Amino acid sequence: AQSVTQPDIHITVSEGASLELRCNYSYGATPYLFWYVQSPGQGLQLLLKYFSGDTLVQGIKGFEAEFKRSQSSFNLRKPSVHWSDAAEYFCAVGDSNAGGTSYGKLTFGQGTILTVHP
């Protein structure tokens, strides 16, 4: 069964500093990988996704993530954090069958809470 690990429960950065949120996955087939962000009391917003191709993917709000198959990682990065980026971030892997066809099930990590200091 697939699993996702986000090693950092809580990260604090200063506004303007760079950010990297870690994500490691366990999955036997070609992974479909996602990063979502959730503000308090809100639903999840998709930041970016990786299905195949270029291992560096660009997302919304200036975020990017790099897929590294050898390390089973999909870390999220942002060069300069804004106070409005404070939220909880979730990495997720999409389910697929042996033939690589994806289904709708997502397996999420436990989330990383980002605090931004002025």
Binding site for another protein (CB under 8 A): 32, 34, 36, 41-46, 49, 90, 92, 94-95, 101-111
Nearest approach in angstroms of CB 94 to another protein is 3
Closest to another protein by CB, 15 or 38:
38
Closest to another protein by CB, 36 or 81:
36
CB-based contact 92:104 (threshold 8 Å): no
Report the chain's C-alpha Rg in angstroms: 14
E strands, 1-118, where? 3-5, 10-14, 19-21, 24-26, 32-38, 44-50, 56-58, 64-68, 73-78, 87-96, 102-108, 112-117
Nearest approach in angstroms of CB 84 to another protein is 18
